[in-house]
Amino acid sequence: MPKGYWVSVYRTISDPEKLAAYNKLAGPAVKAGGGRVLARGGRVVAHDAGIAERTVLIEFDSFEQAVAARESAAYQEALVALSDGVERDFRVVEGID
């Protein structure tokens, strides 16, 4: 079964306090949903049309598990805390089996 991934690229962080509040809630929500953080805010080398921005990569055992974690009540609470504190591109991606 292919794994699932959350890929989040932060275009701008306008309110670091909201991001910190989100991180406090999102971490436990991700863990409860079976997610494992593979990369968070480390070095980035961008190519082609890419821009070196804060990137977060989280792995789940399946695509369905990744979608369910994103839709969970605990993660929705984290999103409320984040509100308009950032502009980001968030995707749930299915891996290759």
Helix or strand (DSSP H, E) at 94: strand 86-94
CATH number at residue 52: 3.30.70.100
Q: What is the pLDDT of residue 51?
A: 87
pLDDT at position 95? 98
Cα dihedral 33, 80, 91, 38 sign: negative
Instruction: Compute the residue count for the chain.
Output: 97
The total domain count for the chain is 1
Residues of the chain where predicted confidence (pLDDT) is lower than 70: none
Using DSSP's 3-state secondary structure scheme, residue 8 falls into strand
H-assigned helices in 33-72 = 63-71
Which residue do the tokens 């950032």 mark?
86
pLDDT of residue 38: 98
Domain that holds residue 46: 4-94
